[in-house]
């Protein structure tokens, strides 16, 4: 299992920053080969919330394989009040040429 630390800074309702810990593990579930689970701590004593989350990968940190030109991602969120949301996403990708 790998631990990924996500750092974020926000300005409203108060200026602060938080670190979100995400546990990443390998799985075998159809097309999906990895699963990441993150628990977001309370923001502004419970008065704040995440309204947008963007995740980008830099070369060399993590890699993905998409031999058929599609990178499938599935997001499952569970909110404090028990609300559950699921969202699949498919992104096109191209194979990088092997350096010789």
- Do residues 72 and 90 lie in contact, with contact meaning Cβ atoms separated by under 8 Å? yes
Classify residue 39: in a domain, yes or no: yes
Classify residue 17: in a domain, yes or no: yes
Classify residue 55: in a domain, yes or no: yes
pLDDT of residue 59: 63
Q: Characterise 46 by phi-psi region: left (phi > 0), alpha (psi -120 to 50), beta (else).
A: left
- The parent domain of residue 75 ranges over 2-92
Classify residue 97: in a domain, yes or no: no
Q: Is 96 helix (H, G, I), strand (E, B) or coil?
A: coil
Classify residue 37: in a domain, yes or no: yes
Asked if the peptide bond before residue 49 counts as cis, ω within 30 degrees of 0, the response is no
pLDDT of residue 63: 64
Q: Is the pTM of this model over 0.85?
A: no
- pLDDT by residue for the chain (100 residues), tens only, comes to 888 888 888 776 677 888 888 898 888 877 777 888 888 887 777 777 777 777 666 666 666 667 777 878 888 888 778 888 888 888 887 755 444 4
Classify residue 22: in a domain, yes or no: yes
Number of domains in the chain: 1
Q: How far apart are CA 15 and CA 43, in angstroms?
A: 10
- Do residues 39 and 21 lie in contact, with contact meaning Cβ atoms separated by under 8 Å? yes
């Amino acid at each position: 299992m790998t631990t990924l630390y996500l750092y974020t800074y926000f300005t409203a309702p108060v200026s602060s920053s938080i670190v979100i810990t995400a546990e990443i593990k390998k799985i075998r579930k159809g097309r999906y080969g990895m699963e990441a689970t993150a628990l977001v701590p309370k923001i502004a004593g419970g008065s704040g919330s995440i309204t947008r989350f963007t995740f980008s990968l830099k070369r060399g940190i993590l890699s993905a394989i998409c031999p058929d030109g599609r990178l499938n991602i599935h997001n499952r969120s569970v909110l404090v009040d028990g609300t559950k949301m699921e969202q699949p996403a498919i992104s096109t990708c191209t194979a990088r040429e092997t350096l010789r």
